[in-house]
Amino acid sequence: MLSCKDVTHKLSESLDRELTLAERLQLEMHLAMCQGCRNFKKQMGFLRLACRRYMAGKTSSDSDT
């Protein structure tokens, strides 16, 4: 059973590589029961989106930032 701390590492790594099936299953089991880690996952997704948007603003003149 993964701890919340383990989950933060797995969620960060999921942004950099494809997790194995076993890792994904473990992760899903934990997330199903843990609101804090579900929020953490959404926050990680938000960071990725913000970085993409940041760069998009840097490379086009019609920045929506």
Partner 1 sequence: MLRGNERVGKMSDPQLPWMNDEAVEAIRRDMIKFARLQLRDAAMAEDVVQEALVAALANGQDFAGRSALKTWVFAILRNKIVDHIRQQSRTTNISALAPDEESLDQSFETLFKGNDHWRPEDRPTNWGDPEEALRQQRFWDVFDACLNHLPENTARVFMMREFLEFETAEVCRELRITVSNCNVILHRARNGLRRCLEKNWFLGGEQAC
Rank residues 16 and 28 by Cβ distance to partner 1 and give the closer one: 16
18: contact with partner 1 by CB under 8 A: no
Sequential DSSP letters for 4-35: HHHHHHHHHHTTTSPPPHHHHHHHHHHHHH-H
Separation of alpha carbons 51 and 43, rounded Å:
12
47: contact with partner 1 by CB under 8 A: yes
58: contact with partner 1 by CB under 8 A: yes
CB of 21 to partner 1, least distance (A): 19
20: contact with partner 1 by CB under 8 A: no
Name the DSSP class of 14: T
